[in-house]
A and B are shown apart, each in its own frame.
Chain A
């Protein structure tokens, strides 16, 4: 009889479980749940991303689906990790390498293709045209599941208009300080490379924090006054970089005051006399030469000597005190920019960064976050003067 009662008790308990079920775990990501629910409901109503995508998302849930909002403000839902990515510009390519997602790139823009020392692997991939003039046929032939390009270029009329809607075009810059960190985080999620992304951002944050810690307390009136430029002007004088440019952001982050602030915005030509009148403590020059391109060191040196020898510039404090510096685009912007930030900060405030070895920081960057070879580390000119023999 006891056995019969035991069976009945078990049945009653089992009945209670059937009638009062426990709901799913609250640990599920709210975003993933909402996105998956939307996809399922759309599918039940005859739309949605398709059964294959939904099945993948269900398998990967709660890691997927993921919502990514690009820098242009467009929202994209990813139901699974990307596998075939076309990258239109070099800033995006170096960022993807830094977070370890470059094995999923299947096609590259012409500037990546031609930059064989910076992108030894990617430069062997099919060419999909310039970042301003995409080759639509080449892109479609690669059957990509994602295209990465600049926010503004190429214009949607040249790209999205010619593509099926299933191919998302994500627009991110990867060189503007104000959105850079956020873009890297998003890229980590797009490529499902959160761990590598965290490694890179830890490195990035470390050097930003070092600079902020050492220059943050300097009063405005004691900050070093910097004139930033890229050489001769397009119509006259010299080409200065003011607010709204990457070089301005770099020098300000390093604790400098841009003498062109309030005088011009963006890029503008200024008279040599105006520069002399400003009498900056430091002249910071940007060059698109050298960096990952070997054999262009002399161009950098010529640029330096041109400034030093400009008639009248001998009266400027920066020239008198030999405080004229050059940064290259492969150094100053993008994923390597923390090394440039520390370098510029050290140029501006050498006493505060005396024990910091900037060369080692950049070497660490090249070693850990790029695919470059020893020749770049040994022969590359990323900034000047760099202590190497001419």
Chain B
């Protein structure tokens, strides 16, 4: 079987990465509750100005999340079961019963900094989800790994 040229390999790799990852990742926030790690990804606005927020949850989590939107932002909707969501002013409450992610959409003006808190029924605690920006989005990590692959190939 002929070997695939390295340039094609890299191009294919980036194509896969582009399909797998949203090109608009702008930041993440994490929380280490007693049992779980929660990751929030806030995407850049789409053509209509709507911002998609992905919250990744650990498997088997039962509890809840409250997301507090910044002033001037409105909740547009979510793919989460409708009977597990309550919008209460700027706060959006999500009941989590085994789901591994929540995706919701918001729209508004100004800085998109979302404050969150998590109810951990495993530990019986409620704690904040941080708002720090991600230092290394996954796409950038994959790019770096690809460059590393080229360098190794050249050495061979």
Contacts and interface: CB of A to CB of B under 8 A. Distances in A.
Interface of A: 1, 4-5, 7-8, 11-12, 15-16, 18-19, 21-25, 28, 33-34, 36-38, 40-41, 43-45, 51-52, 54-55, 58, 61
Contact of A61 (B9, B64, B66, B97): B97
Interface in B80-109: 81, 83-86, 88, 93, 95-101
Contacts of A25: 98
Contacts of B81: 37
Given A11-B142, A61-B62, A24 B84 contact: no
Given A5-B149, A8-B13, A37 B98 contact: no
A61 B121 CA distance: 12
B95 A40 contact: yes
Please give me the 4 A-B residue pairs with the lowest Cβ-Cβ distance, nearest first. A24-B98, A21-B100, A37-B95, A58-B121
* Residue picked from B13, B101, B121, most chain A C-beta under 10 Å: B121
Interface of B: 9, 13, 16-17, 20-21, 56, 62-64, 66, 81, 83-86, 88, 93, 95-101, 119, 121-122, 124, 138, 142, 145-146, 148-149, 152-153, 156
13 contacts: A1-B149, A12-B16, A12-B20, A15-B21, A21-B100, A24-B100, A36-B97, A41-B95, A44-B93, A45-B88, A51-B121, A51-B124, A58-B62
Contact of A15 (B96, B121, B138, B153): B138
Given A8-B13, A37-B83, A44 B100 contact: no
Contacts of B93: 41, 44-45
Among B21, B64, B97, which residue has the most Cβ atoms of chain A within 10 A?
A: B97
A38 B64 CA distance: 11
Contacts of A34: 83
A12 B85 CA distance: 32
Given A11-B145, A15-B21, A15-B138, A33 B97 contact: yes
Contacts of A54: 121
A36 B62 contact: yes
Contacts of A36: 62, 95, 97
A40 B100 contact: no
B64 A16 contact: no
B84 A15 contact: no
Contact of B64 (A8, A19, A44): A44
Contacts of A52: 124
A190 to B, nearest CB: 23
Contacts of B56: 18, 21
Contact of A19 (B21, B66, B97): B21
B149 A8 contact: yes
A19 B88 contact: no
A381 to B, nearest CB: 55
B5 to A, nearest CB: 13
A41 B92 CA distance: 10
A25 B66 CA distance: 23
A60 to B, nearest CB: 11
A24 B119 contact: no
Given A11-B145, A44-B95, A58-B122, 4 more contacts: A8-B145, A40-B97, A41-B85, A43-B64
A115 to B, nearest CB: 43
Nearest to B121: A58
A41 B145 contact: no
Contacts of A24: 97-100
A61 B122 CA distance: 12
Contacts of A28: 97-98
Q: Which residue, A28, A40, A61, has most C-beta atoms of chain B within 10 A?
A: A40
A16 B16 CA distance: 10
Nearest to B93: A44
A44 to B, nearest CB: 4
